[in-house]
Amino acid sequence: MELDLIQKKLLEQVADLHGIPEGAYNIRSDGKLAGRSTTAHIDIVTKSDKPGIDIYIKDGTKNESVHIPVIIEQTGLNDLVYNDFYVGEDCDVVIVAGCGISNCGGKESRHDGIHSFHVGKNSKVKYIEKHYGEGTGTGGRVMNPTTIVELDENAHMEMETTQIKGINDTLRKTSGKLAAKASLIIHEKIMTTGEQRAETDFSVDLDGEGSSANVVSRSVAKDKSSQLFRSMINGNNKCAGHTECDAIIMDAASVTAMPQLTANSVEASLIHEAAIGKIAGEQLTKLMTLGLTEKEAEDQIVAGFLK
């Protein structure tokens, strides 16, 4: 397959790719398959009952990666896709997903990606997801990613999810269900500008003994944008859960943080932290004494915060 310039730029933004990736991949462009590659250990199969793919990763697959980027250039496209990952036992893999929308038209372009992960015993998965929007058109860029994670015994998943600018409206739902000794780490980074709206909804069930979850969100809300962060951890066994929301609010933005903990076991140890505030004046002052203007100082602080 050959990529045009816009496709290349979107791929670079959502998957850090500078062309066709190595290893297993599935590229979806404007709702259609644009390229696929499988390996001896990783198979990708198109679903027959609904749009989307099933990704099978064999037991013992180590140091391999799967890229499944989605790019949308067609204005007015409403793309719904189901991607199911079946990760075997004793694996160690990196999965990179992401969606880039370049909407230069007047109609709303929308991508709803529903990703489910079934991670087998003793497996490690690093999942990186980026969302990016651009385009000069008046049409909205909407993304509603849903992530469902099921971790078997002693499985470990680390999820990095990033949405920096460009997406007008998003509802991001992530749920996790953890068996004994399984652990889930989620790092979310969000920046909203203009009149954008971002809603995040995490829900983690710590079912197994010795399971743990750490859900950390850092966000910056600028201009008139609004954000809602909801994070729920249920401790149903001897487990450890931590959720943290740290937000910088600027201009006329609005941020709501709703951490929620439920302990259904006396052995559950759960913590939540939530902090919302403007950039500290002394941080700006310090960087200005190093020769930065107030705007440059603000940009540095925000870039560092979301790094």
Question: Which residues in this chain contact another protein in the complex, by CB under 8 A?
Answer: 218, 246, 280, 282-283, 285-294, 300-301, 303-307
d(CA 14, CA 4): 16
Nearer Cβ to another protein (48/289): 289
DSSP 41: S
DSSP 107: S
Query: Shortest Cβ distance from residue 167 to another protein (Å)?
Result: 22
Query: Shortest Cβ distance from residue 294 to another protein (Å)?
Result: 7
Query: Shortest Cβ distance from residue 306 to another protein (Å)?
Result: 7
Amino acid at 116: S
Nearest to 145 by CA among 104, 184, 176, 113: 113
Tokens of 90: 């004793």
**Beta pairing class for 239-249 and 92-102:** unpaired
d(CA 283, CA 118): 43
Nearer Cβ to another protein (171/302): 302
Whether the CB-CB separation of 221 and 253 falls below 8 Å is answered with yes
Nearer Cβ to another protein (44/284): 284
Query: Shortest Cβ distance from residue 305 to another protein (Å)?
Result: 5
Query: Shortest Cβ distance from residue 220 to another protein (Å)?
Result: 11
Nearer Cβ to another protein (118/218): 218
Nearer Cβ to another protein (106/277): 277
Tokens 């609904």 found at: 50
CA distances from 227 to 199, 248, 304 (A): 6, 11, 20
